[in-house]
Structure 1
Amino acid sequence: MKIVFATNNQNKVKEVQSLLPSHITILSLKDIGCEEDIPETQPTIEGNAIQKAQYVKEHYGYDCFADDTGLEVHALNGEPGVFSARYAGSQRNADDNMNKLLHNLEDKEDRSAHFKTVVALILNGEQHTFTGICEGTIIKKKKGDKGFGYDPIFMANGFSETFSQISLAEKNRVGHRGKAVQKLIDFLNTKK
């Protein structure tokens, strides 16, 4: 089975490809000639994932899946949420985003947060969504050099290291994207 993953983020492609069984091959947006930025204008994480999948299906004709992920911090009423990638501005700089988040949490005792990923799949004319959530804490200083996004400041519950300090295999096992993608894989395995 070949299916398009509607992202230009090579870190996501690597993370998801490592989870998929060998009979499922991912095509990237580049592979299908999609060079434009796909709109993400919905007010929810789920809405953005669905919008991206629908865009690829409507404009390129491929069955596909798309994901959207947000970090939701309890003391900040769910911020940055749907704006996680551009929390500190349209430049989408991970360090700027983390610095803004750490600044906004300076006077907060509650540093609990969760990552939420929604994967939207369009397959054979049907739409399905799969959600993964990882509960954790925002630490006070960046730690680690693996991963991407907010990984250096997010520590999953039950861990003493950030997502930037643990292996990709471990992150996939406990992380939000890994959980959502596993639900996607379980579903696709019923469609062999």
Structure 2
Amino acid sequence: MSLDLPGPQAVRKLQPGRLVIASHNPGKVREIRALLGPYGVEPVSAAELDLPEPEETGTTFVANAELKARQAADLSGLPALADDSGLCVEALGGDPGIFSARWAGENKDFAEAMRRVHAALEAAGPDAPRDAHFICALALAWPDGHVEWFEGRVDGTLVWPPRGDKGFGYDPMFQMEGMGRTFGEIDPDNKHGISHRAKAFEQLVKAVF
């Protein structure tokens, strides 16, 4: 699934100070806080500021990341960073993709979401490939409307049953290429160095710090 990133734009540096993490997902907020730790910013989540969750009406990861970042920057008057990420399964035509969170339902039950992915693969037949990838798109927005975009991707395969109780989301069923363990089995500090989110943050760090 292509991110269809916008064309080149002038890079703006991010100054030390408060930065809104435009997410209500505690696991995602924890990962982003850890990744931002060394760079002199003071992360504050959208939930802590009582900012509403926007309807994700974009058709790509980057579009959804941008609308979340823009809303948080507009409402808070602070720079805001939003992540839109998901699991794309080759045999399912890229699903759940941008709907990854919605496959978990209103209660954000990712155990159920993983069962749905597994059931869809089973329905696709015994020879359906288990290839999948995670994509992360980051959008960094300022209150004046300036936005920067970054992306990361990791490829792997899906396992069943899920393994491990670390990470969040679909991590326990995703095994990255070259690894013998799922994202749910590895230490979060290790994941922070190799994940799709880490790869997107590498681009962000090079550009804005």
Residue of structure 1 equivalent to 2:13: none
Report the Cα offset of residue 125 of structure 1.
4.1
Residue of structure 2 equivalent to 1:180: 200
Residue of structure 2 equivalent to 1:113: 132
| Structure 1 position 61 matched with structure 2 position 80 | no
| Structure 1 position 11 matched with structure 2 position 31 | no
Contact 1:117 1:176 (8 Å CA) reproduced: yes
Residues 117-175 of structure 1: per-residue CA shift (max 9 Å, x gap): 00001136421111010101011211111111101100000000000001112211111
Question: Number of residue pairs matched?
Answer: 188
In 1, the alpha carbon distance for the partners of 2:64 and 2:134 equals 15
Report the Cα offset of residue 92 of structure 1.
2.6
Query: How much identity, in percent, do the aligned residues show?
Result: 37
- What amino acid does structure 2 have at the position aligned with 1:33? D
| Structure 1 position 79 matched with structure 2 position 99 | no
- TM-score between both structures, scaled by the size of structure 2: 0.84
In 2, the alpha carbon distance for the partners of 1:143 and 1:83 equals 23
97, 100, 106: which is aligned to 2:116? 100
Residues 38-73 of structure 1: per-residue CA shift (max 9 Å, x gap): 221111111110010111122232211101001100
In 2, the alpha carbon distance for the partners of 1:109 and 1:170 equals 30
In 2, the alpha carbon distance for the partners of 1:8 and 1:147 equals 16
160, 163, 169: which is aligned to 1:140? 160
**SS of structure 2 residue aligned to 1:141:** coil
| Structure 1 position 42 matched with structure 2 position 62 | no
In 1, the alpha carbon distance for the partners of 2:47 and 2:91 equals 38
Alignment gaps of 5+ in structure 2: 1-15
Report the Cα offset of residue 26 of structure 1.
0.6
Report the Cα offset of residue 88 of structure 1.
4.9
